[in-house]
Amino acid sequence: MKSFFRMTYPYILWIALFVVAPMIMILLYAFTKDGGNRTLIFRFTLDNFIRFFQDPTFTKVLLTSLRIALITTVFCILIGYPAALIIANLPERLQTLMVLLLTLPMWINMLLKTYAWRGILNDFTLNSEIKVFIGMVYDFLPYMIIQIHTAIAKMDRDLLTAAYDLGANRWKTFLKVTLPLSVPGIISGITLVFLPAVSSFVIPKLLGGGDYVLIGNLIETFFISTGDWNFGSAISLVMALIIIASMWVTRKLDRNAQTE
């Protein structure tokens, strides 16, 4: 047992250096002031957060990011659920092939895919928001399909047979059996789509034409362009709290779905 625990030391060190330490730095910068020349004034302050929530421009960006992520998630469910259902009803060999074809685009770097979409969408007269929607749905849709397909594929087919034997038609069988049993997959898909969508900055930056700003772009601007690490850290902390709250809600829904 001790030798097994020793094997975790590199992972603990990795987490400490690249997860815990950056979070501590973000907390430090978020609650302190910039003293100039990259020095900090170690005095507790809430000015960075007050600035963020009092300025309607920043709160509007946050609400826009949440709205974009929510709509992207809804579209991924509407498109992904029928696709996952169709794949799950195919023969097992075809299912494996379809899942492989579905995951192939995920092997390509998101930046390259977004550049490709920018070249395609430049030929169409679409506003920036629609272009961002298309890019986000394309990038995050496979995560939704895979999660829902996994939930449906693991479902006991005898339950469907029993429903038909009891006189239920296909629609009622779907509503009473398939849909409830696939809810955990839907919730997992929501987690994998909503969280990266709300914090995305590459897709809005490349497909939005530079005039469509989400919370991720705002954080990038204050860290890289303006050099205001204190305010950028405060925004990052707000975003982290929203992500943690979203994960808590989806996890609670997942538990409730599994116990029903």
Residues 61 and 185 in one domain: yes
- Domain shared by 88 and 169, yes or no: yes
Dump pLDDT digits (tens) for 146-175.
Answer: 999 999 988 888 888 888 878 888 888 888
Residue 51 structure tokens: 């600035």
Integer Cα distance of 47 and 45 in angstroms: 6
Q: Both 133 and 11 in a single domain? A: no
Q: Note whether 7 and 86 are same-domain residues.
A: no
Q: What is the pLDDT of residues 19-50, one digit of tens each?
A: 888 888 888 888 887 665 555 566 788 889 99
> Rounded distance, CA 232 to CA 32, Å?
12
Calculate the dihedral angle through the C-alpha atoms of 226, 231, 233, 236, rounding to the nearest 10 degrees.
-100
Residue 45 inside a domain? The answer is no
Does the residue 207 lie in any domain? yes
What residues have CB less than 8 Å from 227, skipping those under 6 apart?
none
Whether residues 17 and 60 fall in one domain: no
Q: How many domains does the chain have?
A: 2
| Of the candidates 146, 122, 150, 83, the residue with the CA atom closest to the CA atom of residue 208 | 122
State yes or no: pLDDT of 210 exceeds 80: no
Q: Is the pLDDT of residue 260 over 70?
A: no
Instruction: Label residue 79 by pLDDT band (50, 70, 90).
Output: very high
Structural domain boundaries enclosing 188: 56-259
Look up tokens 């029903």; give the residue.
260
Domain assignment present for residue 42? The answer is no
Same domain, 14 and 135: no
Residue 136 predicted with pLDDT over 80? yes
Q: What is the pLDDT of residue 258?
A: 62
In a domain, 51, yes or no: no
**Which band of pLDDT confidence, cut at 50, 70 and 90, is reported for residue 2?**
low
In a domain, 69, yes or no: yes
The answer to whether residue 47 sits within a structural domain is no
pLDDT, tens digit, 9 for 90 and up, residues 183-202 = 889 999 999 999 899 988 88
Amino acid sitting at position 190 = I
* Mean pLDDT rounded to a whole number for the chain: 86
Q: What is the pLDDT, as a whole number, of residue 39?
A: 58
d(C-alpha 185, C-alpha 148), whole Å? 4
The model's pTM: 0.85
Helices (H), ranges, the chain? 2-6, 9-15, 21-30, 47-54, 56-88, 92-103, 110-121, 128-153, 157-165, 170-173, 179-198, 202-207, 215-220, 229-259
Residues 17 and 128 in one domain: no
In this structure, are 85 and 26 located in the same domain? no
Residues 19 and 84 in one domain: no
Region 242-258 average pLDDT? 79
Residue 48 belongs to some domain of the structure: no
CA-CA distance, 253 to 86, in Å (whole number)?
A: 25
Can you give the CATH number for the domain in which 116 is found? 1.10.3720.10
